[in-house]
Structure 1
């Protein structure tokens, strides 16, 4: 089967296999799926097979955009069909019942005495299955819950333990910027590479972990978003230790720079530390930095 390329001028005729970024709002997860048929657009609804630990079941996903990537064993899911009006009706009806399911499940968890935080309850639209998402600081033996939950709901029960990062994605928390958490409001943030301590140091942030971590206990997502900015700015700034020549017999050694304020700090043994605006200096042919004529 031929796979269509994005931007190749291929029309939307039947028989083309295309890859799409898909979003599963129930768990706030992003996948890659293939669909053969008409070209899909953002907001289209599909029925796809969603993995839950050691099992899977069909549910509704949203199309984000067309993509070139083929995914991998962790991100690729099997697309069944375009969701019909009947599929969407079942999904809406189940969604209306989920708040009541949360209350009933929470009551049972409290009565049994299992230490876990119930995050979400989801009724699968195409089977008699309820998925209960929970978090806990340690592994949980939830076997004592299966019998009372099964008796209460009279359907199959699947309990999914979520990481603190996944819990933050599914919460309505706000960051220190006053906006909703990136992992909650921006669907593709979960695909960004891990924010490492090296990236944080490159952005010249304080190594005070309390100021760098979100509710999930991981580094802020914004470090990943701002990485390209810092990489591009680094190319246009002198490095630490570079010389800035200000007069025939006078130069300063760069000790620090601020990409946001566009300031370079340099030191001279006799004159101390001096701040230069980035547009006040330029790199000469021999690799030295010089102050632009007329700005001394």
Structure 2
């Protein structure tokens, strides 16, 4: 058995698992952990628990200690240094005429590494930028090109619904979104209406897609003949969420009825027409 603890380093960020080193930890406590970027401060989101050793992919890095007040204060001071680093980097980007947009800067807890995230339409040769920036800031600099969704997650903002962006608020990982999901939910296929601030399809299209698909399986198809309390009718539409069906009666009147009052007419498929083949003869 192996003991693990779940730690998150960014708001709504991915949860990483560490060896708690026998330290008694509670949810929401801040800890200092050894990561691939050096020492970093994160927040406990999953208390230490026992798991099978086979479930651990590789040797876990260890939690160094619970965060001291000095660590928390230093992390706040680093926010000012990160803003200054972005200003320095922006000046160099302008000087070197690089087609890139800076998004964020992150120091690790011991100031030994600075990671700058940026977006660009194509691959950028930023080697000269890294050299000059490292010389100015006297630290190891790493530039990381990210996509539009990751950029929106880092910057934050408000969605079409008026609420804070889901990716910034609670989505720890992005789920693939397809245009088919918008079609299943009968949404207008207008990019302005089904795209988020990142310019990609709305992440929330995923939330109800499974329910829409399940409910639509119960709904009759458009043009399908059905029986209603008012007689035979033809389906012209439906609302999966309300579980109602819009039908056109034989009198050409249109009405909306609950799905429970609709009986789908299952007519047998017509037999193919044509002369029967004489016995004993085969097609060559």
- TM-score w.r.t. length of structure 1: 0.73
Aligned partners of 1:262, 1:172: CA distance in 2, in Å? Answer: 36
Unaligned runs of 5+ in 2: 268-284
Displacement of 1:247 after TM fit? 4.6
Match of 2:82 in 1: 98
Unaligned runs of 5+ in 1: 3-16, 289-296
Does residue 166 of structure 2 align to residue 185 of structure 1? no
Displacement of 1:170 after TM fit? 0.9
Aligned partners of 1:106, 1:127: CA distance in 2, in Å? Answer: 20
Aligned partners of 1:71, 1:133: CA distance in 2, in Å? Answer: 29
Matched-pair contact (CA < 8 Å) for 1:60–1:83: no
Aligned partners of 1:77, 1:276: CA distance in 2, in Å? Answer: 59
Match of 1:230 in 2: 212
Question: Among residues 80, 83, 86, which one is paired with 2:66 in the alignment?
Answer: 83
Match of 2:150 in 1: 166
Question: Among residues 228, 232, 237, which one is paired with 1:246 in the alignment?
Answer: 228
Q: Deviations 1:192-241 (Å, cap 9, x if unpaired)?
A: x3122222222111222221111222211111122244245446x43315
**Other structure's SS at 1:46 match:** strand
Aligned partners of 1:50, 1:205: CA distance in 2, in Å? Answer: 44
Aligned partners of 2:240, 2:24: CA distance in 1, in Å? Answer: 43
Cα distance change, pair 72–283 in 1 and its aligned pair in 2 (3 A) = farther
Aligned partners of 1:160, 1:107: CA distance in 2, in Å? Answer: 18
Aligned partners of 2:146, 2:56: CA distance in 1, in Å? Answer: 22
Displacement of 1:61 after TM fit? 2.3
Does residue 40 of structure 2 align to residue 59 of structure 1? yes
- TM-score w.r.t. length of structure 2: 0.76
Aligned partners of 2:26, 2:249: CA distance in 1, in Å? Answer: 60
Displacement of 1:270 after TM fit? 4.1
Cα distance change, pair 39–196 in 1 and its aligned pair in 2 (3 A) = farther
Q: Which has the larger radius of gyration?
A: 2
Does residue 28 of structure 2 align to residue 46 of structure 1? no
Displacement of 1:278 after TM fit? 4.5
**Other structure's SS at 1:179 match:** coil
Aligned partners of 1:147, 1:109: CA distance in 2, in Å? Answer: 12
